[in-house]
Structure 1
Amino acid sequence: MSSQNIPHQTISIDAATEQTFVNTIRMLSIDAVEQAKSGHPGLPMGMAQAAFTLWSRFLRFNPQNPSWFDRDRFVLSAGHGSMLLYSLLHLTGFADMTMEQLKSFRQWGSKTAGHPEFRHAPGIETTTGPLGQGFANGVGMAMAERWLASHFNRPDFNIIDHYTYAIVSDGDMMEGISSEAASLAGHLKLGKLIYLYDNNHVTIDGYTSLAYTEDWAKRFEAYGWHVQSIDGMDGDAVQAAIAAAQSDPRPSLIGCKTIIGYGSPTYEGTPHIHSDAVGEEELARVRKKLGFPADTRFYVPDEVKAVRQQFMDAGQAYESAYDALLAA
């Protein structure tokens, strides 16, 4: 018996509600950056769909006990996109990540620092921000899972059995530490390491064509990784890619082609929205395009709030089933 054999807890949600949930992540992210007049709205808006697909269809975690030992690990290596993580923590039922915390983004004393900080709030697995650091941290976590499993698992009794996932950016991929860690991960064949690469062709300096034109897929294939390239805005494509990654014995890199700042009529797809507040006029345009009421801030539709309980129930079911495995 393996903890991964515990039946997956399905989040039951129709297509319209899923789209509203994804757009809520986008709106919470851009609202928080606008209120703080500081931050990075582009990545959360571009990767909202891919992140939601991961969290709702694969990630095993318990919002009511974020330290559950055999949870899957999620690292936001692209820590500048922190509002993506904070929005997900809030919407999936992490009690400490209140709406007031989202409204206090980047403010002194809040749990919602500009870049995620370990122990500031449950659900933050490691401090990230310096690009490449989270990439390497994830490799270390996958190595730890491998070591623990080799020492404590027994035939037909796998009590250590979880995945490590991360979202990495163009900037992460350009860092030397990522190359070193990726080489090691490929050498060790860390098959339970799966990274989603936000391949949006934009960095804080401008378009990646300024300095980054290598064939990233061939580089990672040379490291010994399983590599895929997909439309990161398509939830079904993301789901299929993660499922394929889980069935491959190598570490996996899924290149997600996304539009940075998706939902911003003026700035989506451009460096401008990587790391700037867009202003009230553009914020109103975003709200209209994404179908949110005018003159609202930090708005969470009722149908999205209703999904929170499903995540909480699923998490409790995972941990209860795991406890039963330990007691067997």
Structure 2
Amino acid sequence: MKKIIVLFVMAIASLSCSNENQSVESKAGASTSNAGDYNIAVSVSPDGSQWTYTITRAIAKAKNLSHFIIDLNNCGDNSATFANIVWATVNGSPADLSPSEGAGTGCNPQASTNNFVKFDNLQAANSWVLVLKFDRGYETFATATGWIKAGSSCSQVTMVAPGCPIEEYCSFSQGFFFANGNVNNGAGTFWTNGLTIGGITYTQTQGNIAWNTDRGRGGDQTMNGFFQLGAVRLSGVESEVAADAAIIDAYFTGLNVFSTLVTTTGNNAYSYFNLPATSNGVTKAQVIAAGGRIGTYVDANHCE
């Protein structure tokens, strides 16, 4: 499959779900509900990265929802996971997400899968619009499993959910994003919101300056970690190298590289980044090693 970067385009394609009237009672004689009390409509952006679940009451006496669970294990080892979720909302506010289910709720998704996402602590409402944004696009899987917790009941439903990835991950190189030619090669499309590393946001122009400075006489291999993280982060594939990305991001947290910029004097004056040996408990050696591993990943998964 040809590797491409998935560009997130917001548009809606309507899909429908069917409910299975399967209810698990958690307490005899308590306030119960079943799957047929609710309608679930699903819409997906054309690139498959944004999934919207709209849940409404099918009957007037339907209970308020407590939580909603989506089985993500729909494509074997290539299934979406909790780590692939970029953000989520409930009725426009940040969602309370969890990759696990507590005891005593009446729901037991772990009986069939450990790969699921739970929208927890849903507030009372007339309807619920739950949005999941993934870091890549997924095909629709029409017979996925979900669970609705309302009252003392947890009801299982069959619905549409993310299936296999639409395209494989790939990453552009650090040179694509930072070298001089990036102003003309289309890289600017990825720089729209800047690049945030360690909580500091840099513009494309600053990225160019940083690259040209580090490629000069005072170059520091620690900055290679900075550029490699920038490459996968701007490419949208950071989750593929999450552990190494976290090492680099931790080192640069609160550290604006331009605050360390030093310029020598004299006829052969030059500038360089005077980065600390250790920052936030992470050493330069660790950053350099992490950057090297990310570079290996990029080499093996380079976008055409």
Larger radius of gyration: 2
Given the two structures, how large is their TM-score scaled by the length of structure 2?
A: 0.23
Given the two structures, how large is their TM-score scaled by the length of structure 1?
A: 0.22
Query: Which has the larger strand fraction?
Result: 2
Query: Which has the larger helix fraction?
Result: 1
